Amino acid sequence: MIELIIALTVLNIGILATVAALNSGAIALQRASKLSTATAIADAQMERYRAIRYDAIMLDTTELGADVADSTYAADSAYQTGMATGTCVSPLPLECDPVRTVAATASPDHKPYRVDTYIVEQAPVAASRPVKIITIVVRDGLNLSKSLVRAQSTFDESTGS
């Protein structure tokens, strides 16, 4: 009887270890899925800026004013007062919106995301041309304080005026 109890205890420990490993693997796969989807969303947003002229790279003034009230947007390290703004055409194109929500139905993994865009224009130094630094931050749509991906690119005035 004692041998049977010892054997069941050892078997139980083995089964619990296997279940814990499976659970850990499932969590890692979910995280990898979120990160790869967030990376694809950030890349798609950055490609929108690469497809337009330098002078069209800006955030809509009205939308930015409303989004600054959002503490998550304004608290990000990429946020600066005096970002590159202007008046965008209506309806507002995706590249002019400082904060865009990707609904769960529109994302590949059926999870919501929020895309925050920051555009800072730097004045030329010495003989260089002005540049705009675009930072895209993709956040978990269910937990906005959790930043999943941060992508940054510099756009030179030589891309068009």
Burial class (CB in 10 A: 0-12, 13-18, 19+), 96: buried
What is the per-residue pLDDT across 122-151, written as a single tens digit (0 to 9) for each?
877 776 788 899 999 999 999 998 999 999
Rounded to whole angstroms, how far apart are CA atoms 51 and 151? 17
How is residue 129 written in tokens?
A: 């041309």
- 61's tokens: 């003034």
46-104 pLDDT per residue, tens? 999 988 888 889 998 888 877 776 788 888 888 888 888 888 887 778 888 899 999 99
Rounded distance between C-alpha atoms, residue 109 and residue 45, angstroms: 17
Kindly report the pTM of this predicted structure: 0.82
In angstroms, the CA 67 to CA 131 distance is 24
Contacts of 160 (CB under 8 A, 6+ apart): 53, 54, 55
pLDDT score at 127? 65
Enter the DSSP assignment of 87: -
Contacts of 137 (CB under 8 A, 6+ apart): 42, 76, 78, 115, 116, 117, 118, 147, 149, 150
